[in-house]
Amino acid sequence: MCGIVGLFLKKDELRPRLGDLLTDMLITMTDRGPDSAGIAIYGSETGGLKITVQSDTPDQDFAGLDTALAAALGAEVSMRVLSTHAVLALPAEHEAAAVAELEARGLRIMSVGTSMEIFKEVGLPKDVAERFGIRGMGGSHGIGHTRMATESAVTTLGAHPFSTAGDQCLVHNGSLSNHNDMRRKLAKKGVYTKTENDTEVGAAYISSRIAEGASLGEALEGTLKDLDGFFTFVTGTRDGFGVVRDPIACKPAVMAETDDYVAFGSEYRAFANLPGIETARIWEPEPATVYFWER
């Protein structure tokens, strides 16, 4: 079933409250998916690259990780540890070498980007948000997901959001029926996925289209032609977020917009604690129609 939320802030005054507002939104969706949860936060840029990694044994794996990575790269590296995740900041030109080094150490890459950080784990939204301190995080926009597993096992890697390119991620409610075929097509183009989850295929498809020169809107329109099944997608990029539903649109979705923000939820109750929601324009996104907001 799954629950999705998204929030795009139009005014900088609300940026310090992004994590708090997103957390409340996601917690209201708990009964739509109690297996695992995750949030992507688009926060401040450091002028370099941020790589978010996850470990099942963080005390062991994160001890001295920044120093070791700096030595391997010959570059300055800083690290922020949050429970089972660590956010490493480094010069962007060392991305490929850093990712290879981190994966060789058995760490799972959650996200790479100049502004995006992804935190996800098995467990209820309330617990996942608390362990990472999501409420205290600021930013311009973010998306979140609480999962009821249908296509793959309940694991950290199987949780949403899925990121398959820098500063890009996707959350999904539904089921793709041609994900195995699309996985093979993407592999022939040199685009590979790391899990058996159908949502990661959707994320990789959109990233692949954008890498080929498509706009976010064009990539989302492509899902309507190339992906089969029932889906509501919310995708995040460095500049904003987009929404698309399949032509039948059997998965619930609602949107709200004010002068201060645009919000997405699987159900209206996700908006309950948003400021000014009583005067917001509320609507249900149309089937087979792309919506996106960018800075």
- Which positions ≥6 away from 47 have C-beta within 8 Å? none
Residue 94's closest CA among 117, 110, 75?
A: 75
Residue 281's closest CA among 260, 267, 266?
A: 260
The pair phi, psi for residue 18, each rounded to 5°, is -55, -55
Sheet holding 85-90, edge to edge: 78-82, 85-90, 49-54, 108-113
> CA distances (Å), 101 to each of 59, 67, 105, 150, in order?
18, 13, 6, 33
Residue 285's closest CA among 220, 218, 240?
A: 220
Residue 256's closest CA among 237, 238, 269, 239?
A: 269
Distance separating alpha carbons of residues 134 and 58, to the nearest angstrom = 18
Decide: 120 and 159 in contact? Cβ < 8 Å.
yes
Distance separating alpha carbons of residues 221 and 154, to the nearest angstrom = 30
Selected catalytic residue, list 2, 186, 219, 280: 2
Residue that is written with structure tokens 């995750």 in the block: 38
Q: Where are the alpha helices (DSSP H) in 133-197?
A: 179-188
Length of the chain: 295
Examine the residue annotation and report whether 250 is marked as an active-site residue of this protein.
no
Distance separating alpha carbons of residues 185 and 103, to the nearest angstrom = 25
3-state secondary structure of 191: coil
Please identify every residue annotated as catalytic: 2
